[in-house]
Amino acid sequence: MILKVSRLGHPVLRRPTEPVSPEELATPAFQRFLDDMADTMREYDGVGLAANQVHVGKLAAVIESEAHPKYPDEPPVPLTFLVNPVIVERSPETVDGWEGCLSVPDLRGKVPRSRWVRVRALDRRGKALELRAEGLFARIIQHECDHLAGGVYLDRMPDLKTLSFTLEQARFGGAG
C-alpha cells in the first residue's frame, strides 16, 4: 500500500521518533508497514524513507538505490531496512553532495555529509546489524537518521544559495 508522505511544516517531521521493540517489530502489522514504506519510497522515486515521513513516529527507515537516474555515478544500494539505527562512527572528512527529499518536494540543495559512517541497527527480522557505508549509501543513512531525530536536510545546508528546484537544477546544472 502506498502511504501518504508528510511534507515540511507537518509537526511529525520535527518530532524525534521512538524505538521499535523486538515484539512490535515481529508483528505482521509492522512487517506490512515496512513493506508499505518500501513501496511508497519506490512509488515516489526516492532512495530512502523514514517512518515519520509517513506519519509514524517510529525509529525505522528503508533505503534502496538501484541505478537511480539522480545518482548515475554511484553504485547501487540494495534494499536495506534499518530499525533503531544509531550512527556509531563517522569520518571526520565531509563531502558536499546534492540532496532532495520526498517531504520537501521538487527542491534540492548541497549538503555536507561524512564520507563514511558506521551504523548499528536491527534488520527487519530483528537481527543485529552493523555496517560501514560510504558514498551515496552513507549519505542516505545520514539523511534518514536526521529525519528520525526530527531534522531535514535543509537544517544541514551551510549555504541556501545552492537550494534549487529539481527541474531548474537539471536544466541549468544547479545553483552555486
Q: Which of 88, 77, 84, 78 minimizes the C-alpha distance to 122?
A: 84
Active-site pick, 43, 66, 99, 144: 144
CA distance 158 to 140: 18
Residue 20's identity, in one-letter code, is: V
Q: Are 108 and 99 in contact (CB under 8 A)?
A: yes
Check if the beta carbon of residue 119 is closer than 8 Å to that of residue 88. yes
Helix count and strand count (H, E) for the chain: 4, 8
Tell me the pairing of strands 164-165 and 128-134.
unpaired
Known active-site residue 144: yes
Give the residue numbers annotated as catalytic, written as ranges: 144
